Structure 1
Amino acid sequence: MVATATTSQSRANTRPAVLAILAISAAASLFLFWLIYKHPAADISRTKLPFLPALNAVLNGLSATALLVGYTFIRARKIAAHRASMITAFLFSTLFLVSYILHHYLHGDVRYPIHAALRSVYLPLLATHIVLAVIALPLVLVTFFFSLSGRIPQHRKVARWTFPIWLYVSVTGVITFVMLRLAQGS
């Protein structure tokens, strides 16, 4: 009876934070969809900060690398090193998000050429990347909340889902960048 009361009390204590994270994540996702699909590009000529897509790919790659390093550390039970790696991955992903927002504010949406090779591969890959990126944001924030607030059992449960989704989003971010650049060059 005591364990059940403690468990339900713990859920009640985390509910406001998790709801706030979900609300912030939903607002961020709606903002990004508006920015990408409705907001007119500020720099139609694409001359301002043209390196942003490449920077985004580098930041995604660094995030994926930090995630894999963090995973190896936790498997080896090196908690402090794991925490440092995951904070590093979070920082790279945060910098990515800032750069991504700036890129889409300036340049708008960049479309894959209709007749380019591998379009039938690119579009499903991009679709899964986008859907899972929307899911990853609240998962990452909730996972960090549980870890930083000392709720390690909850952290472990959520991290089992967060890690592969976050890693997939980071890796496919790099792949979609490369595919788009190759298609634009042909």
Structure 2
Amino acid sequence: MIKNMETEKSNKLIIAISVVIPIAVAILFGVKIDGYDFSFLPPIYATINGLTSVLLIAALIAIKSKKISLHERIMKFCLILSGLFLVMYVIYHMTSEPTSYGGDYKNLYFTILISHILLSISVIPLVLFTYVRAINGNFDKHRKLAKITFPIWLYVAVTGVVVYIMISPYYA
């Protein structure tokens, strides 16, 4: 009974977080703060995305090798990295003018960018529900959801790097 209440509370919290984060990011994109130069952040948060990609694969290898403790530590680190990415991303966009893509592969760029953005929104609840199922010891449901969450999270992390590589020549 207590575990069900905890699950219900955590589910509501995850849903709230999953709604609040994208709305807050969208609102903060409309806020411009002048006088700060955070132009150094994009290569850092692209690197964080790249590192997250590598660590997600390492976590998969760890769990397939039955190294549960290692898997758990890596996944916690991936969550921290994702949080750092989000903070840096918002800070950069609040203090910088938008950058327009000017290359020959505009359709490809926007396809990748749009899929990246949409999946980055959907991955928030997936990651949180997957994580909570693991910490609650509900490993059967955790594994089922992780099979969906992992490829989406990996795609978001990898395409974050791709988007950066494609747009970086056009930064002011």
TM-score (structure 1 length as normaliser)? 0.84
Instruction: Determine the C-alpha separation between the residues in 2 that align with 1:98 and 1:104.
Output: 10
SS in 1 for 2:147: helix
Map 1:86-105 onto structure 2 (within 5 A).
Answer: 86-105=75-94
How far off its partner does 1:12 sit?
6.2
How far did 1:150 drift?
1.5
Distance 1:118 1:84, change over 3 A: same
Identical aligned pairs, as a percentage? 33
TM-score (norm 2): 0.91
Larger Rg: 1
Give the 3-state SS of the residue equivalent to 1:48 in structure 2: coil
Residue 62 of structure 1 and its aligned partner are, at CA, apart by 0.8
For residues 13-56 of structure 1, the C-alpha deviation after alignment (integer angstroms, 9 at most, x for no partner) is 523311211111111101111222x22x2137xx6121111111
> What are the ranges of 5 or more consecutive residues in structure 1 without an aligned counterpart?
1-5
CA distance in structure 2 between the partners assigned to 1:161 and 1:147 by the alignment = 15
Tell me by how many angstroms 1:144 deviates. 1.1
Distance 2:83 2:148 in 1: 19
Post-superposition CA distance 1:77-105 (Å, at most 9, x none): 11111111111211111111111111112
Q: Which residue of 1 aligns with 2:133?
A: 146
Aligned to 2:14: 21
Q: Corresponding residue for 1:3?
A: none
1:58 and 1:13 map into 2 onto residues whose CA distance is 36
Amino acid at match of 1:65: V
Counterpart in the other structure of 1:161:
148
Matches within 5 A, 1:1-186: 13-36=6-29, 38-39=30-31, 41-43=32-34, 48-113=37-102, 116-182=103-169, 184=170
Q: How much does 1:11 deviate?
A: 6.0
CA distance in 2, matches of 1:33, 1:109: 14
* Bigger relative contact order, structure 1 or 2 (CA pairs below 8 A, ≥6 apart): 2
Evaluate the alpha carbon distance shift between residue 10 and residue 33 of structure 1 in structure 2; reply closer, same or farther with a 3 A threshold: same
Query: 3-state DSSP class of the match of 1:42?
Result: coil
Assess if the C-alpha contact under 8 Å between 1:146 and 1:154 holds in 2.
yes
RMSD of equivalent CA atoms: 2.0
Structure 2 residues without counterparts, runs of 5 or longer: none
Kindly indicate whether the alpha-carbon contact (under 8 Å) linking 1:61 and 1:170 is maintained by their aligned counterparts in 2. yes
